[in-house]
Amino acid sequence: MSAADRSEARSPGAGKAEAGKPEAGKAEAAGPGAGYASRRPARPPGVLRSYLRAARRGRGPSRPEGPSGTLPAVELVLPGLTVDRRRLARYVRLCGGEPGEFLPPAYPHLLAFPAALALMTAPGFPLPALGLVHTANTLTRLRPIRADERLTVRVRTADLRPHPRGTAFDVLAEVSGDTDGDLLWHSAGTYLRRHPAEPDRPGAATPPPGPGGIAPPFAEEARWQLAAGAGRRYASVSGDRNPIHLHPWTARPFGFRRAVAHGMWTKARVLEALGPELPAAVRVEVAFRAPVPLPSEVRLALDRAPDGRSTAFTLTGAADGRTHLRGRADAL
């Protein structure tokens, strides 16, 4: 476990769980999801330990995988988390911003990632974690989270299902106040295990649909040069060292000719570009339509609603116009 993992995984005591049905606005933060057993690890999940498990599975004998398997009916609960301010500063600058009093909207994803990876690499998980592709993500921030708040994180997996390009499932995460239990942030991310023979080429299959209601005209907001090492830099901050993001030679066994950018990094860069336009309470939906190869140049375009409560955005290749990311941010 890295120093950043240890700092953001301090868990001095058990979190609070309220009996009965959660109040409106607290959603599932007051207890485990229906049908899930709530589990508080004796020690916080270590990202390195999880990747070693994933690597051992990759070297071992093949096992049946696909939508016929079963996801673990377990919700991991990590109480008492605090934010490593140096790690936060590195993250913000990597996304093109400057550190402030509050967490960026996508930062809680990093707090939930160790628990998500622990679930995905646990014995019996129906899909191998290495090579999974993040195809969609919706995050909801109910209010800005101060960087000095103590937090409780809950993570579970759900909805294993067939997909035109393989097998998909969701990772559900919630962040609440450690003292009052109020739900502050939650997200749903969809991950895809691609068919082994699926090549990485334009038009190989229909990409997953993006959030509805997005229509032109879009106005170009920015162009970004993404370096060949961008995936490695984000991996060093986020802990997400999926081989598809690191080097061409580590991405190639999973069907990619080059390393590809982390979807959550591209989403975080878009949100940093929107900056003060984002409402305090906001929902941000994104579909990762095509991998962003590294290095590359991309173009961010926006379509702002006249009332200022919604902004649609796209991230496209500057050279070929291919849509890599499509989404929208809506005030709650």
- For residue 197, name the pLDDT band (cuts at 50, 70, 90): low
| Domains identified in the chain and CATH numbers | 3-331 (3.10.129.10)
Beta bridge partner(s), residue 67: none
User: Would you say 273 and 96 are in contact if contact means Cβ atoms under 8 Å apart?
Assistant: yes
pLDDT tens for 153-192 read: 999 999 999 999 899 999 999 999 998 999 999 999 999 9
Closest CA to 270 of 286, 259, 246: 286
pTM summary value: 0.81
User: Would you say 315 and 300 are in contact if contact means Cβ atoms under 8 Å apart?
Assistant: yes
Give the Cα separation of 125 and 133 in Å (integer): 16
- Average pLDDT for residues 220-234, to the nearest whole number? 96
User: Would you say 59 and 53 are in contact if contact means Cβ atoms under 8 Å apart?
Assistant: no
The alpha carbon of 206 is separated from its chain's Cα centroid by a whole number of angstroms, namely: 22
Question: Which tokens in the block code for residue 189?
Answer: 């991310």
CB atoms within 10 A of CB 266: 26
Question: Which tokens in the block code for residue 14?
Answer: 């058990």
- For residue 254, name the pLDDT band (cuts at 50, 70, 90): confident
pLDDT tens for 86-104 read: 999 999 999 999 989 999 9
66: Cβ–Cβ under 8 A, 6 or more apart, which residues? Answer: 126, 127, 162, 167
Q: Which residue has the tokens 């700092």?
A: 7
Q: Between these two residues, 177 and 37, which has the higher pLDDT value?
A: 177
Quote the pLDDT of residue 195. 76
- For residue 139, name the pLDDT band (cuts at 50, 70, 90): very high
Closest CA to 70 of 127, 129, 126: 126
DSSP H stretches of helix in the chain:
3-7, 47-59, 85-94, 108-120, 230-238, 248-251, 263-274
* Phi then psi dihedrals of residue 161, to 5 deg: -155, 155
Q: Which residue has the tokens 């979807």?
A: 263
